[in-house]
Structure 1
Amino acid sequence: MGLLPQNKIHVTSTKHPPPHALLTVVKNSEPTCYTEASKHEVWRNAMTEEINALLKNQTWTLVPLAPSQNKVGCKWVFRTKRNPDGTIERHKARLVAKGFHQQHGIDYEETFSPVIKPVTIRTVLSLAVSR
């Protein structure tokens, strides 16, 4: 029995070959938590960019916690953005609130819609004008 090259999967005889997706080896996997991401400079830079954007846009305000309210936690979400040819365009980190822990009337009174991109507005307006 010979040695297989690294990162290769050896398939013994099968009636139907496995799907191509199962044979793919992921080399640049995205971190699933802060601890993993903080070990790599590219992800630390992405997190710094996200925090700076939140501060610059004043998208949140730190307020004292009332005893009747729950704390809303947050989580980092990491994605590798790629160009059409598959090369890495950038590393993106998002700090997202765990809003599913909130209860209406206790933790919040208002709801907010997501931010709409200008491209979406132009598309909707052009459809409205054309009809």
Structure 2
Amino acid sequence: MIVEAKNLEIRGVEKRTSKKSEEEYLIVRVEDETGRAYELLDRDVENMPIYKRGVECDLTLDLRLGKYTNVSEVAEMIGCHKDHVVMLSEVGCLSCIRIGKRYMYSYEAIKKFQHDYEGFNLSNRVKALEAYRIVESRK
């Protein structure tokens, strides 16, 4: 997935070597306009001179996500509490895989949830159930 990241400030860059493959790569530390810090991986070490501390820039990123993510990460992505994510899963709005007590979410399921439930009020269990019935009736 190609992502445009705007208004990032370079905070630092570090060259590292993979323990498995012995290949060098860069860890680029950036902050967004809210001050939130991120670490980006750049496999092209020749890009090191490009990353100058304090420079603000826009970056085009090739975002590669793992297959599944957990409740905490989903809560952060959609902007709610972890318990709310679990409730959305129990109601049926947000598909997941349950492994023991853990809920695991695919990125495809998160995208489908965001698409299907855009504009709905999902603020509590009753409203989420109502939205679930409406979405299911459309299928």
TM-score, with structure 2 as normaliser: 0.19
- What TM-score results when the alignment is normalised by the length of structure 1? 0.20
Q: Which protein shows a greater Rg?
A: 1
Identify, as 1 or 2, the structure richer in strand: 2
